[in-house]
Chains A and B, each alone.
Chain A
Amino acid sequence: DVKVTQSSRYLVKRTGEKVFLECVQDMDHENMFWYRQDPGLGLRLIYFSYDVKMKEKGDIPEGYSVSREKKERFSLILESASTNQTSMYLCASSVAGGPYEQYFGPGTRLTVT
Chain B
Amino acid sequence: GQQVMQIPQYQHVQEGEDFTTYCNSSTTLSNIQWYKQRPGGHPVFLIQLVKSGEVKKQKRLTFQFGEAKKNSSLHITATQTTDVGTYFCAGCDYNSGNTPLVFGKGTRLSVIA
Contact = CB atoms under 8 A, between A and B. Distances in A.
Contact of B88 (A43, A106, A107): A43
Interface stretch (B55-63, B73-81, B101-109): B101-109
Contacts of B41: 106
A42 B42 contact: no
Contacts of A43: 43, 88, 90, 103, 106
B42 A107 contact: yes
Interface residues of A, number: 24
A106 B103 contact: no
A74 interface: no
Size bracket, chain B contacts: 20 to 34
B27 interface: no
A66 B113 CA distance: 44
Given A104-B43, A105-B42, A40 B103 contact: no
A90 B44 CA distance: 12
A92 B31 CA distance: 19
Contact of B105 (A42, A48, A101): A42
A106 to B, nearest CB: 6
Given A90-B42, A104-B43, A42 B48 contact: no
B100 A101 contact: no
B45 A103 contact: yes
A104 B41 CA distance: 10
Interface string B73-95: 00000000000000010101000
A73 B21 CA distance: 35
A99 B101 contact: yes
Contacts of A102: 33, 35, 43, 45, 101
B101 A40 contact: no
B11 interface: no
Interface of B: 1, 6, 9, 31, 33, 35, 41-45, 48, 88, 90, 92, 98, 100-106
Lowest 5 A-B CB distances belong to which pairs? A42-B105, A101-B45, A104-B42, A43-B103, A104-B43
Interface of A: 31, 33, 35, 40-45, 48, 50, 58-59, 90, 92, 99-107
